[in-house]
Amino acid sequence: MKLHMRNKTLAFCLTAFVFGCASGPAGSATEAATPAVLNAMQDELTRSMSTLSSADPPAYFLSYTVSDRQYVEVSGSNGALLTSDEDRARWLEVQSRVGSYQLDDTHKVGDRPPSWTSPGSTVTLDDDVPVLRREIWRETDRQYRAASEALIKVKTSEQVQVQTAEGAAPDFSHEKPHVSIGPRVEIHVDRKPWEQRVRDYTAAFSKSPAVLNSIATFTAQATNQYQVNSEGTKLAFGQIHYRLELFVQSKAPDGMDIDRYANFDWLDPKDAPDEKTIDLSIRQLLEETQDLDKAPIADPYAGPTLLTGRAAAVFFHEVFGHRAEGFRQKDISEGQTFTSKIGERILPDFISIKDDPTEMRLDGQMLLGYYPFDDEGVPAENVSLVDHGVLKTFLMSRSPLMNIPDSNGHGRRQLGYAPVARQGNLIVSSSQTMPFEELRKKLIDLVKQQNLPYGLLIDDIEGGFTFTGRGQPQAFQVTPLVVYRVFPDGRPDQLVRGVDIVGTPLVSLTKIVATSDKQEIFNGYCGAESGSVPVSAVAPAILISEMEFAKKETSTDRPPILPPPAHDPDATKGQ
């Protein structure tokens, strides 16, 4: 379920079981002293730019980023300790752009991959300025040489290949420089208590004979990011994140894998979940696992569907969010679903959507997609994407469009990848809401009107993926974990399994007919062209008049022949 497969036109997203990075407060510039690593970066940038800007071809832009990460992980499985580690590392990324803002080495022509082929390297942990400058110098030379070779290919390809109208937009945007020097952040974690906790949590799962495997993982991360560029930007800011993940796996009698998980995220050690909360989560996961083992397999279905808030959040992330990422509008290989639809209604008029990575919390709950500056040194911005159903703009990195020349702070990447426009905190709101119970009644009304035997209620969801490439069907697939049949005659809801939500975006978005009055949050990790980045999706429950479900791909392996040793009477005799 860690969806890390990478494809230039396929976005795999929102796996809550993967560690992400959120951050603590990082506001305006402070009086903190400039770190030695930032001084080394600035000194070497000044020296490099003075020479490379007059080289042939000239480097018109240069940026250095150093990510200093302290990481703690404690993991247990089936009542025993698996790992207990602590590590720290620094990663240097150099971006050298040659040519001009209008046309440079990164210009995408056809299916040619980006030129940023050697995006970074580890560097010393010591604040030794001469050593740091030497390491930066070596990486700068590699990047400049690679960019120079790529520019030759760009200019050659440009003469013989057709581009879209948006392909004529500049390759890089002019942005104002920003200076913010914040304090360094650190974490101090005593791993011993967590070592016992992960043992206890997974031992509790092992009490059920239905459980094949269980894992509990505690992670803590402190990231200090330093960035300078030739435009004058100079940044130093810290981010801290703690997470606990609970995962349990089973296998139904017919061979279908059953996975359930839960995660807790917090910014301050005092906000860690208490043992009562974790115990309740363990009990719920066990109960759902046992029930799903016995649940019947659902048939393919098309009809009224009610998605709870978490499920609806993933739906919007997949169906809308990826198609609102700006770089997809200028790539000739992309489907460009919404490229020409700014100013048009693409959703019901009671739906509005924004992406606001400046929000750290919502209703007291942490938002995983928060960040103060994006990975191109641009401050995060609250972007109104859809206003009462009308598409207003796109999420933008420093890759401009013809009518959107500037970044809005959404250039994001995993270490080792080039930044592109990505989602942060995608937040869906509605101007026409009702209590969830009324929404459920409307679901039953629609089932009766369509003369169907039942409707479906999606209560929890794992994640999904979406195809955005032009040569592929413009479709999405979302994997629900907890699905109920809701009967119009008043019978109790029936838990079922084994289906995926499928569809196409333009049709699916227009079939939303009502929403609830309460938003819910899905914190997870989204993998796409620039790697895996932490995101949040927020939405109310939504009622869709018609949604299609297909049978889920499943394993043909049968469950183990013998029960677990602790649940085998013969194995426990004499113990």
Report the SS3 class of residue 67. Answer: strand
- Sort 382 into a burial class: Cβ within 10 Å, 0-12 / 13-18 / 19+: middle
Domain formed by 31-251+253-294, architecture: 2-Layer Sandwich (3.30)
CA distance 260 to 216: 12
Q: Where are the beta strands (DSSP E) in 107-176?
A: 121-123
* Contact yes or no for 324/338 (Cβ under 8 A): yes
Q: Which of 139, 201, 199 is nearest to 416 (CA)?
A: 139
**Residue ranges of the chain whose pLDDT lies below 50:** 1-30, 470-471, 473
Q: Which phi and psi (to 5°) does residue 530 adopt?
A: -100, 30
Cα distances (Å, whole numbers) of residue 291 to 23, 296, 555 = 37, 10, 19
Q: Which residues contact 325 (CB under 8 A, 6 or more apart)?
A: 394, 395, 410, 420, 421, 422, 423
- Sort 7 into a burial class: Cβ within 10 Å, 0-12 / 13-18 / 19+: middle
CA distance 115 to 409: 22
CA distance 234 to 36: 13
DSSP 240-257: EEEEEEEEEEEE-TTS-E
pTM above 0.85, yes or no: yes
CA distance 475 to 503: 6
Report the SS3 class of residue 286. Answer: helix
Q: pLDDT tens digits, residue range 205-216?
A: 999 998 999 999
Report the SS3 class of residue 365. Answer: strand
Q: How many CA atoms lie within 13 A of 53 on its CB side?
A: 11
CA distance 397 to 405: 10
β-pair type (390-391, 383-387): antiparallel
Return the biggest CA–CA distance within the chain: 83
Q: What is the pLDDT of residue 465?
A: 58
β-pair type (433-434, 512-528): parallel
Q: Which part of the chain has CATH 3.30.2290.10?
A: 31-251+253-294
Query: In the structure encoding, which two tokens stand for residue 37, read together?
Result: 């690593």
Residue with tokens 């109920």: 484
Q: What is the pLDDT of residue 331?
A: 66
DSSP 370-417: --SB-TTSPBP--EEEEETTEE---B--SS--SS--S--S-EE--TTS
Q: Which residues contact 231 (CB under 8 A, 6 or more apart)?
A: 61, 175, 177
Q: Which residues contact 455 (CB under 8 A, 6 or more apart)?
A: 303, 304, 305, 306, 443, 444, 446, 447, 485, 486, 488
Q: pLDDT tens digits, residue range 214-248?
A: 999 999 999 999 999 999 999 999 999 999 999 99
CA distance 458 to 135: 52
Q: What is the pLDDT of residue 101?
A: 96
Q: Which of 350, 312, 353, 351 is nearest to 436 (CA)?
A: 312
Query: In the structure encoding, which two tokens stand for residue 116, read together?
Result: 């940023």
CA distance 543 to 449: 15
* Contact yes or no for 32/235 (Cβ under 8 A): no
Q: pLDDT tens digits, residue range 519-559?
A: 999 998 898 888 999 999 999 999 999 999 987 766 667 77
